[in-house]
Amino acid sequence: MAEPLRIALAGLGTVGSGVIRLIETNAQLITRRAGRPIAISAVSARDRNRDRGVDLSPYEWQDDLTTMAARDDVDVVVELVGGSDGPALTLARNALRQGKGLVSANKAMIAHHGMELAALAEEHGAPLRFEAAVAGGIPVIKGLREGAAANRIERLYGILNGTCNYIVSTMEDTGRDFAEVLAEAQAMGYAEADPTFDIEGTDAAHKLSILSAIAFGSRIDFASVEVSGISRILAADIAQAEALGYVIRLIGMAEADDGHLFQRVQPHLVPFDNLLAHVDGATNAVVVEGNFSGRLLFQGAGAGDGPTASAVVADIIDIARGMDTGFEADRAFSIPVAGLEAMVPAASGSRLSRAYLRFTVADRPGVLAEITAAMRDASVSIESLIQQGRHEEGGEVLVVMVTHECPEASIAAALRLLDHSDSLTAPPMWMGIIGD
């Protein structure tokens, strides 16, 4: 049998501990499938004494991350530290410069520094893999890089953050408002103590920018992703969407056309008969549309120790099989870095779409006329309009409308006309509508 592939594991949180459990539990199966054993040479984390539910005594403890990649008994470094910069990035750079393979679940680091790391990997003939950085245990990166490699990808979109999907689908099931469901998600461990990256869409945007690069052969451009999250969604929005035949989901969407790249993360209304309408809980799902393959759906657990560890170890197995040597080592993003196109961010104003708009307004005469006049002056045609009954005299009411298809610039212009209106008591909520 071939010599073991020796790995160093940095970061022993839920995913790192899950990697150790998976390698130990399925050791014989992994050896058969990889063609060689996977051996853990060293481990490292901030707190050596923390109980992680796994026995670390068989493995050498490495206090200094800066020297981990230089060890003679390490072929691949597995980076599970997290964070876009700092120790994780230093470790990643050191590993690739040493010609060691790098496997990472760090979507923030890849989104911000993926081009640099891929160039280092090519320069030093080292494999770079990051399947676990996007959608947990779902092999969507492998699906794009390999299964759909012969296709021109025309569009990809999906649910890329399990925390947000858990919150909106629970609001949908229970009728409760955002703050209450978020608190429950935090208590259950689905949301972080500081959930900002999740609920404001940043986590999904990191993942979308990585998928876009692989799907469209473009350089990663996280900065051009338009991002809005779910924190302003009300139970009333969920109820109105349902009455109109939709559910609300946080959707990441990307399209490339004639050298221009459109990337957006935004809550959308999704029709009941769409594949994504039935993805609930902490599940992720990605739809990829290829010009020959047609529509492909990748769906599964988007986070958690087991699914994410599964993706990490799958990358390690690929390296052990020798799939990341020679030609394959130049394909972290499907195309060598020099061949990736620097696409121009696409202006969204000319995009044609229907929109859901919700206004929180003072309950007084003339408000509805003011809103509809702004729509008229911006050439936005209203398909349907609902004004909820008053809750108390002189209080606030909600006005909800769905527009006909029109340029997004027209919707933005209508909202600008209402910017300084004292009739609106809160900023309007604008959500896209996925086509029926």
The 10 Å CB-count burial string (b at 16+, else e) for 137-166 is bbbbbbbbbebbeebebebbbbbbbbbbbb
Nearest to 332 by CA among 105, 141, 109: 141
Is 107 annotated in the active site? no
Q: Copy the structure tokens of residue 325.
A: 């040597």
Q: How far is CA 172 from CA 165, 231, 352, 398, 401, in A?
A: 10, 15, 28, 18, 19
* Catalytic position from the list 100, 107, 142, 207: 207
Question: Which is nearest to 283 in space by CA: 145, 180, 168, 143?
Answer: 168
**Torsion-angle region of 11 (φ positive above 0: left; ψ -120 to 50: alpha; else: beta):** left
Taken as a whole, the chain contains a residue count of 436
154, 255 Cβ separation under 8 angstroms: yes
Helix (H) or strand (E) holding 203: helix 202-216
The one-character DSSP state at 194 is S
Question: 261: which strand partners?
Answer: 256, 345
**What is the rounded CA–CA span in Å between residue 276 and residue 157?**
10
**Which residues are known catalytic residues?**
207
